[in-house]
Amino acid sequence: MRWTRKLTASNHHTQKAHQVSRASHLPHIGQLPSGARNAISDVAGVSVGHCTLADGPVQTGVTVVFPHTGNLFAERVPAASVVLNGFGKSVGLVQVEELGLLETPIALTNTFSVATVVQAQIRQCIAANPETGRSLPTVNPLVFECNDGYLNDIQQLAITEQHYQQACAAAQADVAQGSVGAGRGMSSFGLKGGIGTASRCCAGYTVGTLVLANYGQLRQLILAGEALGSHLAERLSQKEEPEKGSIILLVATDAPLDARQLRRLALRAGVGLARTGSVFGHGSGDIALAFSTAYTVPQDPLQPMPAVSMLHDANLDELFQAVADSTEQAIVNALWYACSVTGRDGHQRYALADLLPTPHLPSHHTHKHENPDLH
The two beta strands, 143-146 and 106-110, are parallel
Rounded Cα gap, residues 323 and 292, in angstroms: 13
DSSP secondary structure, 205-233, as one string? EEEEEEEEEE---GGG-EETTEE-HHHHH
Active-site amino acid positions? 246, 284, 286
In 100-205, which residue ranges form alpha helices assigned H by DSSP?
Answer: 114-128, 161-169
Strand partners, 101: 78
Q: Cα separation of 231 and 163, whole Å? A: 39
Round to whole Å and give the CA distance between 125 and 79.
Answer: 19
Return d(Cα 10, Cα 67) in angstroms, integer: 33
8-state DSSP, 9 = P
Q: How far apart are CA 21 and CA 38, in angstroms?
A: 16
How many residues can be counted in the chain?
A: 375
Q: Is residue 100 left, alpha or beta, with left meaning phi > 0 and alpha meaning psi from -120 to 50?
A: left
> Which residues are within 8 A (CB) of 8 and not within 5 positions of it... i.e. 6 or more apart?
340, 354
Do 127 and 231 form a contact (C-beta atoms < 8 A)?
A: no
- Angle formed at CA 336 by CA 67 and CA 105, multiple of 5 degrees: 15
Q: Where are the beta strands (DSSP E) in the chain?
A: 47-55, 58-66, 75-86, 101-102, 106-110, 143-146, 187-188, 191-192, 194-202, 205-214, 222-223, 226-227, 246-253, 285-292, 297-298, 341-342, 348-349
